[in-house]
Amino acid sequence: MFSFLPGPRILRSPSKTGYWWQNPFYIQALILFSAIPLLWPVLPPLTDAPGHLGRYRVELGIVHSPWLHQWYSFDWHLVGNLGFDLLIIPLANIFGLETGFKIGVIGMVLLTATGLLAISKVVHGKIPPTAAFALPFIYSFPFQFGFLNYCLSMALAFNAFALWLYWGKTHYAVLRAILFIPIGIIIWLCHSYGWGVLGLLCFSAELSNNYASARRQRKTYIRSFFQAGLDTFLAMLPLLPPILLMILWRSGHVSEGNGDWFRFDLKMQWLIFALRDRWQLFDILSIAIAVLVLLIGRFHLARPLGLACLILSVAFICLPRILLSAAFADMRLAPYLFALALIGLKAPVNRNFARIAAIAALLFFLSRMVATTISFWLYDQAYQQQLTALNYIKPGSRVIAMVETPCLMSWYSNHMSHLPAMATVRKDAFTNSEWAIAGQQLLTIHFPEAGHFTHDPSQSLYPRRCRFRGSADLDTTVHYFPRSAFDYFWLIDIPPNAWPHAKGLIPVWSARNGILYKVDHRIPSPSQTEYPLSSHDKAINLVRMQIKKIL
């Protein structure tokens, strides 16, 4: 399947400058063009991005704001999930919060593209003609979901892996061992998953190279295997210190949340979803083209990346959907499997076939960049239309929002489920769209007056067929939300025929599929009873009561 033994020779150029796809200007153009979809949108249209921005506003402004401390606290402590939380501090101080955030996301994309092409260059000696096929996977489903710390850690991991391979080839083993101690710690701080992937990549490369070296010494297969294993273990020691940080992190009061193992039905979906964006047929066709390229290349990968893809495939199969309280642990790995396999393909020996492959890769890259640019522009237009409601919200207000949120498995997503958090960013307001997972974030929410409506997903209005975790319909929310705890009721991407007409809700702004009500505190809530819990939440509460009795 995956070939990690030496294969046919790499195509060499008859000229000194190499082929056009190996020209430095072409390579630099690929890297720069990979950021084009993010240039126009005011806010990167990634689902979780507004929620991240809301947390950063609390992080940077809670000391100076007269309002934020009423509902939030932000406490620094050791967490393997701090990438953008740390990066945003200098960026916001230099460029402002929103502009700095956008620059950070663009920089992350450029860094990912650089890392992928750098790995390709070190592995093959020259950029293969198929390398451009890998770059559209930067705008993968995990990226569009807004898993920013994870994506940043993967960008750093790819560049670190290229450096690991380069220093291994140039025999700078001591320098590599010294510098990869802080490199591993930095990547772990960004996101622990990125450190884990880096470890698997480096392990694969070392094991593959050490085994090949032992075989060249004409040792038996068993002796070669044990020698390669010992040499690989010694080489991996500089990447082990974050294990101590992981123990310190997980030994605190954190939610362990591991589950949903071996859901092979979902794993097939994650592979198909790797380039999921807006147009289902186009996105699936793009995945089919990537698979076809790998089939035509017979999965004949250069030695380090062949074994790396095999090991990462096993990890993808074994990972649960929820790991260390983080959802979609296995889904996050799927697009990077495609990217690494595509940059690992060896160049065809036939010169004409190589040219055809390079042209096809460039066309694939450009078509995906054009489509993603248009898609992000459309998301941005929808964002800006809804965000005009912020002009009618007073600073320091308390906002309850509901957002039309498609089912997770629906191909198109409006990317708006955390858009209400922009009221925190621009108005220092409380919103019910922030998430609070013990041990994963540094933000804590303390607003008991809001009752059920303190955090995500209380803002998400899912279709009835896919509601979960106690999410309610609009009528139930209007009936039960505590009027005295909120100043505004904001509906986002909800059609006018669903807008409520209830006493105490005064419309102050509206647009297509969006309306903002001011809550009249003189009129009490229609119901003073407790918000009705779902059967799932009731079962959880019952278990908690039984545990308390036992203790």
How many other β-carbons are positioned within 10 Å of the β-carbon of residue 218? 8
Tell me how far apart the alpha carbons of residues 273 and 541 are, in angstroms, rounded to a whole number.
35
Model confidence band, residue 254 (pLDDT cutoffs 50, 70, 90): low
Please check the confidence at residue 172 and state whether its pLDDT lies above 90: no
* Model pLDDT, residue 168: 87
pLDDT of residue 435: 87
Q: Would you say 158 and 115 are in contact if contact means Cβ atoms under 8 Å apart?
A: yes
| Percent of the chain residues topping a pLDDT of 70 | 89
Of 47, 326, 52, 334, nearest to 193 by C-alpha is: 326
Average pLDDT, the chain: 87
Q: What is the pLDDT of residue 303?
A: 84
pLDDT digit string, tens, across residues 431-489: 999 987 766 778 999 999 998 899 988 899 988 888 765 566 898 889 889 999 999 99
pLDDT band at 211 (very low <50, low <70, confident <90, very high): confident
User: Which is higher by pLDDT, 26 or 328?
Assistant: 26
pLDDT given at position 10: 39
pLDDT tens by residue, 98-153: 999 999 999 999 999 999 999 999 999 999 999 999 999 999 999 999 999 999 99
Read off the pLDDT of residues 357-366 as tens digits, 9 standing for 90 and up.
999 999 999 9
At 480 the pLDDT is: 86
Least confident piece of the model among 47-51, 57-61, 114-118, 531-535: 531-535
Q: What's the pLDDT band for 257 if we cut at 50, 70, 90? A: low
Say how far apart CA 478 and CA 486 lie, in whole Å. 12
Residue 532: predicted pLDDT: 59
Whether the predicted pLDDT of 4 surpasses 70: no
pLDDT greater than 80 at residue 529: no
DSSP β-ladder status, 460-461 and 398-404? parallel
- Split at pLDDT 50, 70, 90, the class of 400 is very high
CA distances from 3 to 6, 102, 273, 303 (A): 8, 40, 26, 7
Q: Percent of the chain beyond pLDDT 90?
A: 66
Residue 12 pLDDT: 43
